[in-house]
Structure formats: C-alpha cells, structure tokens
Structure 1
Amino acid sequence: MKKISRLALGLAGLVGLAAITGVQAEEAKTPVAGGTLNMIAQPEPPILMVGLNTQGPTLYVGGQIYQSLLTYGTGLEVLPSLAKAWDVSEDGLTYTFTLQDNVKWHDGQPFTAEDVVFTADKFLREAHPRWRYIANTYVESIASPAPGKVVFQLKKPFSAFLYAFELSSFPVVPKHIYEGTDYRTNPANQTPIGTGPFKLEEWKRGSYIHLVKNEDYWKPGQPYLDELYFRIIPDAASRAVAFEKGAVDVLRGGDVEGFAVRRLAKLDGVETTTAGWEMYSPVVFLQMNTRKAPLDEKRVRQAVMHALDREFIVKNVFFGLGKPATSPVASTTRFHSQDVAAYPFDMAKAKALLDEAGVKPAEHTVRLMPIPYGSQWDRLAEYVKQQVEQLGFKVSIQGVDPGGWSQALSEWDFDMTFNFTYQYGDPALGVARHYLSANIIKGTPFGNNQGYSNPKVDELLLAGASAVSAEDAAKAYAEAQKILTEEVALGWLYEMHNVTISREKVRNLVTTGIGLNEAMDEVWLAQ
C-alpha cells in the first residue's frame, strides 16, 4: 500500500490544527516480525461485534478482527481487502466481486462466498441501518454464481455503491455461527470470530483488551506484530501520562485533551499525522428530538443554533482541532454546498425567534445527554447548557456510559444529545441516513434518531444517490442542504480534525483513508 507522510506539530501549534506543519518521510526498511503494540480503547467499547455496533471504540478494536470486501486509500481510491478484484457492468447495475483465496475464519472454518451472501442478504439487512437502507432501496439480488464469486444486481444505478464496503458499513460475518440465531444475543458477540490479522485472546473489563496474531491469516508472513493491547484508561490525564512514559505507543484522536496533543507532539521520538480520516471526515452535531415540544418547532431549533458560538466551541472546547460546520455535508467531501441557511452567534436573534414561535422557555425543561467519550464532551455539554439556559430554558445534564448512551439514542429517549457522523466518501452513505424518513428506525444510534421527516428532502436525497452525472447529483444535494439547514434537521457544530500521535518505532501505522480502523497487518516495530 501507499505510504503517507507524517505531520509534526510545531511551535505554531498553540493555535490548533494550523499547527500541523512539518513533514517527516518514513524510512524505507524491511519490516521486522514480532513485538507488542500498546494502544488505548477510549471509552471501553460495549461490544466488539462491528456488525451490531459501529461506535468508534468498537471499530478501532474490531477492525483488527473483522474485515470487509474493500478498503479505501487516502485519496479515496478503492483498494482490495477480502475481495481481490471487482467488476462493474456498463449500465452500473451489476457488481461482481472475486474473493481472496485460502481465507479462514478464526475458528479454522473456510471463508466462502456464502458468508458474503449471508452477511449482505440476511445479517446486515436486519442489523445494520446503513446497509438495510442500501439493500432495500437499490439491491435486487445477491448471489454466488460460482465459488469465490459474489454478484450484486441492483434495481437502479447507485453511484456510491463501491463505497458501501468500508469496514463499519460491511463487516463480513461467519454464516456458520450466525445463521438461524438471534444476531443480537448470539454468544459469539462476546467472543468475536473474524478473518482479520488478530483474534481476541482476553478481555479484562476495565483493564485491557488483548488480541494476538492470527497464525492462519490469509496474507503470507503477516501480520508482523505478535499482539495488540488496547488499554482501558478512563482518565484523560492518565492516558497522556501513559504515552509520555512509554506504556502506550499510539494515541488516536480523542484519547487525550487538545492541550495535551500539543505538548506530547513535541516529545522526542514522536510523530503525528492527521491522515487516515479521509473516508470519514466526521461532522459533530447537536441532535434535537423533533418529536418533543418545544423542539418540534423549527424556530426553537433555529434559536438554539443562534445561541451557540461555534467558533468558541472549536477554539476553546476542542482546542482548535476543527472548523465550524455549516452544512450536513463536510466541506472536505463531494457535493458540499455553501448556499445554505446561516446561524451566526446572535442571542438577540435567538430570543426573537422564540417570541415569534410563541414559546415560553421557562415552562420547559430540556434533558441534555452528553456523548460519553471524555471530558471535552462534558465541557461541550456544560457550554450548551449555559447557552440554552440563557434563552430561558431549564436544562438538566444526564450522564450515561457508552452503552446507556447508545440505548437511549436508539430508543429515542432523549431531548438533546451530541453525535458525529462519518461521511463515508459520499452523501448517499454517510449523510442521507440521518434525514431520510425511511431511516426512522428504532434500534440504532446512527440513523434518523431525531425523527426528522420531509418528503421533499427524501426525494432530493434519493435523486442525488441515483443521479447518473455528478452535475445532477450536486444539484439535488445542494437543494437538500438548503432545506435541511433552514429547518435545522440537526444542529451542526463543527468538522472534527483528529491527530494521531505515535512513537517513531511504529511503522506503517496509517496507510489508508480509514486510518486506525484499518487492519494492522502491515504495522511493525523498528528495533
């Protein structure tokens, strides 16, 4: 795979992301086998089964256990994974995948095309909101006409289809373990079986997750590392100390506070990069439950947006590691439009909107549920609470653990919460799922949980996904963005920038556009 340069944080880094300046090319050396890589799982994931949970920590650890058909480069080019080749018909309706040879599951059973068919047509169609939508809307049939071949026949063109096979969107699961079972209660969810370079050895809750080398991995001679440890360290300051003292080799975005990123990046023998997020380009938003008064009134949602200073949030809560968001589509991805409703920080405008709506804030108590990913999110909650209370509302903060947050959001039991959406290279995959009426489905925290519904937006999003030309797609997505921002379907806050910090000895750590969620079969430790 293509190697990437690593970026260093310089002295100018005291202002945030603009700090990432220096470039240091990785030395070309022959990989050395052996060794242990220590990382952090923050917060501790509720489960490692990627097909049932796509929260960040689950993907980070589960990405070493499960694999998909494809992966994607830092330029979003399509690359092989469990599929070694693929072919698309001229009419864009038939996608044929040729699978890798001699792949085995961690329990020794052979990986076959039937596993892929089962994953796509049964497991993910039931358990995965993004794939369910894609399969139900676009896929006519999924079959294996010959050993090692899988054919997806589409009902109509879907230009984003080749981007639908990233790990969190399409983790292939073993048919022999899940067929005929209740997927969500299957005991294998606690002892995951995948095809990846590492397999679960031990999970000591509250302490570490230990993965060991898959000796039967399908890439000869790989992985190079013997074992991976994902340390569970709840306190951000302690995580920074663990890295500084050498107990941890890698920090990903969110593992430590923004001010600690600047300090740790200056240590001798340390490298940093912002690469590895190209596929995701995460956008952070405030999610307001539109089923509940007074948030069912768009002018109230507009008032909340005017009450939030997004520049302040980026600079002071997240230490400059991002930029204010203006749209559901990240400015770094295709089809972003600037022709949208704007919400500059304006408390007077916010209060005027509430008066116009006839809403008396003092009569309402709003429950705000922070995403449980660390103290910076708690600070964000405190800031939002302060600003919304200035409008006259009563606000109560409800702290939950990752499992509780996921369950509450999945069951629509919230007033306001935070989340961030991965773009997945195309609005049809990472953006539309949060706004399509058809995706108002209980059971997942990553769908249209706020209950937003607008038939015109549905029509535009579907038109963008099915467009034959990029121009037609851009037109449809631009109109959709204009409506979504005017109606405040979500409260977009900022585009997240993540910095990965690692020891110089860690080689080939970030090689693709999915970064640290990529299978670490090529990672090795220099002596």
Structure 2
Amino acid sequence: MLLVSAMLACLSAEGGTARPRVLRLARVNDPATLDPLFATSQIDLMLSLLQHQPLLDIHDGCLVATNLASGWSVSPDQRVLSFDLLPGVRFSNGREVTSEDYAFTLERSIIAPTMMVQYALQIRGAPEFASAWRRGLRPPPRPVGIRTPSPRSIVVELEKPDVTFKYWMAQAFGMALARESLGDPTEDSVGRAVGTGPYRMREWVRGAWIRFERNPHYLWPGARHFDRIDLMLGGDESTHMMMFERGELDLASLQATGCPEADFARLHQDPVRRSGWTNAPMYHAIMVNINTAMPPFTDIRVRQAVGHAFDRERFARLNGERVTPGHTGITPLMPGFHPEVEYLHFDPERSRALLREAGYPDGIRTPVRLWHTNIQLYRRWAAVFQEDLRRVGIAVELREVSQGVFDAATSRRGGAEMSIFAWTAGVPDASYFLLPFHSRFISEENSQNGAFYSNSTIDRWLDEAMVCPAEQPRLGLFRRVEQQLLSEGSLIVLGHQNLFALRQPWIRGPLLEPVWWFRLDHIWSER
C-alpha cells in the first residue's frame, strides 16, 4: 500500500491553482505496446485510441461512419476504397496531416512483422513492395494499390474483393502516425509514435504509471473531456477495487468483467453502486485454444476428447450473466450466427473412450500445460477447466503469466500447447474468428493462427468466402468452416462473455462499445 500511495502522490502532483480534470485509471500490467499496429489485446487497443484516431469509426457494433474522413466510398466489387480527409487535422506535434501520412501507415502495415500483415498484403502490389523492402531497397516503389490523388484524398485498391477491409480502415490501417516520430518503420514504436488523437503520452514509467495529456492540436477541442489521464500500473485487482471504493479511481477496472472476480456479486447487487454499472454484449468467444501441431493434440481424437470433457452448463452457472451460454465461434451479435451448429457435447465417457482409441488407456498422465493470464476471472476459469479435464483422465498444469508473456507464448510455434483465449473480434465479421485457421496465417513467431492448424479443405473454403461479395453464400461457407472445426475439436468454445463496466457516479458518456470495449475518448466527468 505504501507503493500505491507513492504512485498516487506522484500522479496527483500538478502545478497551478486550477483543479485539473483528471481521469484516474489502473491496471495490473504494463501495456505490451501503445502502437496500434502492434497491439494485440483489447485492453491495449483501447489505450491506442487516446493517441491515434482512424479515418473511419465503428459504432453500435457494426455500423461504419466517418471519423477523420469527410467522406468515403467503396466500389460495388468491394475492391476499391476512396477516402476524403477532413481539413485541419494535425498531429500532436502540430504538423498538418496529409494523405501521404495515411499512405505511410498502409506501407508500414505491409512490412512490419505484426499479426495484421496478412490483411495488408491484400493491397494490390503489396507483396512486391514487401519483397523490395526485404531486398534492401529504400524506399521501395509505392504499391500500385495505394494512391494519393491529392493531399486530402487517398485510394486503396485490393487484389481481390474483401468486404471487411473497411473495418481495418476504422482501426490501425486508418490511423496516421507521424513518420518523423518513428525510427525503423518495421519496429514497434511502443509509445513514442505521434498521432492525431485527443491526447498524447507525456510519461511512461514502467511498473508505475502512464500519464496522458491533452493534444493541443486536436481537431475537436471540445471532445477532449479531461486535462489529463493518469493510468496507474501495478498492484493487483483487489487493491484497485479498494482504491475505487475510496473514490481514488474513476473506473473500477479496465477488464471486460468491470471489477475483480471476487467482488462482482457483492458490487452488482449493491443498491448504492447499481447506477454505476453498465453492460453490453460484445463480439467475444471464450475458447480453449489447442495447438494442433504439438503432441498430444496432433491426434484429432485427443482434441475431441478435450472437447467432450467440458461441462458447459456448470460453466454457465458459475458465471451467471457475465457469460452467455454458447458453443459457436461466430457470436450472437454477428451476421452468420447459427446456434444449431453441431459441436462436441459434454460426454465424459466418450472423452475417455477417445483417449483409449488414441493410445492412452489410463489417460494422459504427463501434465499438459494450460496457459492463462493473471486475471482473477481467467484464474478461476483455468481451475474449472483443469478439474473438467482431470475427471476424464487428462492431467493439466496451470501456467499463469502476464498478458505480454501469454501473447508471445501462444503465437510462437511450440510455445503453448493449450491456452484460455478470451477472443474478441477486432471487426464485426465471422472472418475474424475463422480466417486465422487458414494455414497462411501460420508463422514461427507472432503467428495469427494460434492453433497452428493446417487443412487444405478449410483453406479453400476460407479463400472462397473472402472473395465472395454475396452475403448469404459467403456466410454459408463460413458456417461450413465453423462446423468442421467444432466437430474436430480444433475449435472449442465455452461461451460468449458480456462486457461490464463500473464507474463512479460523476463519470458520464457512452463508455462501452462491443469492438473497442471501453471508449475512454467518449466519456467525461461532471465533478
């Protein structure tokens, strides 16, 4: 507690007599990065919106609207997207933003080693651009699919139709970063990138705090609702909860659960706190991810045994309204949701029989590691899953790690044989959950195919779906993919998590959004 008090004292120090409007937040771990192109978790991505604003925005789950674009259009064949830029947009260093800055962001997305690169390579000429960069050509000729007809217009042309590319332009691909604030464009800028958002990072002391201050050049000054945002780093969720109840934090948690697992029932039923709660559905699947390239899960029968081991009804009872029961990768809010799809029902006897068929008559005695992050809710889920698997004869060792370690291990070949994924769709489309099972997304490090799954039939169905401009045939192909993965035990979904937030009575504004989780750039204080 002495460390927490010291942090608060440092964060509260401010010169002058006027009381600044400060949003006070806390989280257990440092962000892995604040670079929107390199961020992989929603809890990091929500912070990137403070410094970087996209051309488009996503509202109410799946509605696309202009943000820093004055207008936009997409061709009927879903291959060409055109954007006109709002006048007067400046970076936080004062320089005016032009279409060349958005072109640089798109070029960077092609060559940076991130999980987004496979989407960027859809731009016409992108593979040739990446090849030239690897050969040492600096700068390489611009991809023919990126054109800047004027300083205030940019056109993006894709090799093939893709109905989801507009969503990426509402995220990292549509966020201009000042080239002069970066070194090597292929490297993670972590937090130093200069952007166009309402705030800019003033200080990051790892393990202690991040302080954001107002961007003096932000296009809409009235939308900068706070003079400063102070994010305390470290401590644990229980400590943060005590600080919130003492009025020292404005949000109880930045996790999707809204507060620590141990306090949820008490606070959700507290009449004093009732008005501070808000909740919403989100594009989220609770998954046990299996690395299909690591023994014993190279055997489909072992994967199916795992799928039959989980008691979803018990899991639903334990979580209450925080989790909507479900077994599909395509979530209820998403086009293509099909609740009647077949899956591996809870059947312990069938699970044991499959293990015997796979050559494990006495079960799997060498413990299989189940990785999860150091969040109370995931810790409890891990214990439940461990018990389910123990009952059918699969020994499990729990590996609790920070988010950064988890991301690195689960995206590295041979890194994590089994893990708890709280998988939130970055775009409101079935492809976000299913396309990562395509074999082209496998890489030795930063693999977007965390299952390291490879199946030529699945690849073909996904390829056909991604270039299909007609909605129903496209969704039909995704449904076939989903059914195949579920029946194999290569995709195991335990439910769909709902989004909760607990705020102080003086915090106002539309806080929750299914894609982004917390819209910290949309709230204000009435105190």
TM-score (norm 2): 0.85
Paired position in structure 2 for 1:151: 155
C-alpha separation in 2, matches of 1:134 and 1:147: 25
Paired position in structure 1 for 2:121: 136
SS across alignment from 1:471 = helix
Paired position in structure 1 for 2:257: 254
Verify the 8 A CA contact 1:322 1:496 in the aligned structure 2: yes
C-alpha separation in 1, matches of 2:250 and 2:358: 53
Amino acid at match of 2:166: L
C-alpha separation in 2, matches of 1:513 and 1:402: 21
Pick closer, same or farther for the CA change 1:165–1:382 going to 2, 3 Å: same
| Aligned partner of 1:417 among 413, 416, 419 | 419
Aligned length: 485
Instruction: Extract unaligned runs of 5+ from structure 1.
Output: 1-32
| Aligned partner of 1:263 among 263, 266, 281 | 266
Verify the 8 A CA contact 2:112 2:186 in the aligned structure 1: no
Pick closer, same or farther for the CA change 1:426–1:36 going to 2, 3 Å: closer
CA offsets, 1:398-452, max 9 Å, x none?
232222212212223111111122224444542133211111123326x112211
| Aligned partner of 2:52 among 48, 66, 85 | 66
C-alpha separation in 2, matches of 1:79 and 1:378: 38
Verify the 8 A CA contact 2:287 2:493 in the aligned structure 1: yes
SS across alignment from 1:121 = helix
C-alpha separation in 2, matches of 1:519 and 1:148: 28
Paired position in structure 1 for 2:440: 438
C-alpha separation in 2, matches of 1:68 and 1:224: 19
Pick closer, same or farther for the CA change 1:311–1:375 going to 2, 3 Å: same
C-alpha separation in 1, matches of 2:426 and 2:407: 21
Q: Alpha-carbon deviation of 1:335?
A: 0.7
C-alpha separation in 1, matches of 2:214 and 2:25: 16
Pick closer, same or farther for the CA change 1:419–1:319 going to 2, 3 Å: same
Paired position in structure 2 for 1:228: 229
Q: Alpha-carbon deviation of 1:208?
A: 2.2
C-alpha separation in 2, matches of 1:390 and 1:505: 48
C-alpha separation in 1, matches of 2:501 and 2:292: 36
Of residues 57-66 and 425-434 in structure 1, the stretch that sits farther from structure 2 once superposed is: 425-434
Superposed CA RMSD? 2.5
Q: Alpha-carbon deviation of 1:106?
A: 2.3
Pick closer, same or farther for the CA change 1:101–1:324 going to 2, 3 Å: same
C-alpha separation in 1, matches of 2:368 and 2:358: 21
Paired position in structure 2 for 1:272: 277
Verify the 8 A CA contact 1:436 1:448 in the aligned structure 2: yes
Pick closer, same or farther for the CA change 1:450–1:169 going to 2, 3 Å: farther
Verify the 8 A CA contact 2:261 2:376 in the aligned structure 1: no
SS across alignment from 2:334 = coil
Query: Does residue 190 of structure 2 align to residue 189 of structure 1?
Result: yes
Instruction: Extract unaligned runs of 5+ from structure 2.
Output: 1-18, 126-144
Verify the 8 A CA contact 1:287 1:419 in the aligned structure 2: yes
Verify the 8 A CA contact 2:305 2:352 in the aligned structure 1: yes
Paired position in structure 1 for 2:15: none
CA offsets, 1:213-257, max 9 Å, x none?
111111143312101122235422222222211111113423523
C-alpha separation in 1, matches of 2:227 and 2:362: 58
SS across alignment from 1:371 = strand
C-alpha separation in 2, matches of 1:60 and 1:394: 37
C-alpha separation in 2, matches of 1:129 and 1:139: 19
Amino acid at match of 1:69: L
CA offsets, 1:260-317, max 9 Å, x none?
2343343536422223x64xx111111111112211111111111111112222332x
Amino acid at match of 1:409: T
Q: How does 1:444-463 map to 2 (within 5 A)?
A: 444=446, 447-463=448-464
Q: How does 1:24-423 map to 2 (within 5 A)?
A: 35-130=21-116, 132-137=117-122, 139=124, 141-167=145-171, 171-178=175-182, 180-184=184-188, 188-251=189-252, 252=254, 253-258=256-261, 260-265=263-268, 266-268=270-272, 270-275=275-280, 278=282, 281-316=283-318, 318-360=319-361, 362=363, 365-412=366-413, 413-423=415-425
Pick closer, same or farther for the CA change 1:171–1:386 going to 2, 3 Å: farther
Q: Alpha-carbon deviation of 1:176?
A: 2.7
C-alpha separation in 2, matches of 1:53 and 1:174: 18
Query: Does residue 525 of structure 2 align to residue 525 of structure 1?
Result: yes
C-alpha separation in 2, matches of 1:456 and 1:218: 49
Verify the 8 A CA contact 1:59 1:168 in the aligned structure 2: no
Verify the 8 A CA contact 1:35 1:225 in the aligned structure 2: yes
Q: Alpha-carbon deviation of 1:397?
A: 2.0
Paired position in structure 1 for 2:16: none
Pick closer, same or farther for the CA change 1:377–1:370 going to 2, 3 Å: farther
SS across alignment from 2:305 = helix
Of residues 328-337 and 264-273 in structure 1, the stretch that sits farther from structure 2 once superposed is: 264-273
Paired position in structure 2 for 1:485: 486
Percentage of identical aligned residues:
22
CA offsets, 1:107-164, max 9 Å, x none?
333322112112112335533323x222324645112111111101122221222222
C-alpha separation in 2, matches of 1:462 and 1:330: 21
Pick closer, same or farther for the CA change 1:88–1:351 going to 2, 3 Å: same
Verify the 8 A CA contact 2:182 2:192 in the aligned structure 1: no
Greater length-normalized contact order (CA 8 Å, ≥ 6 residues apart): 1
Verify the 8 A CA contact 1:366 1:415 in the aligned structure 2: no
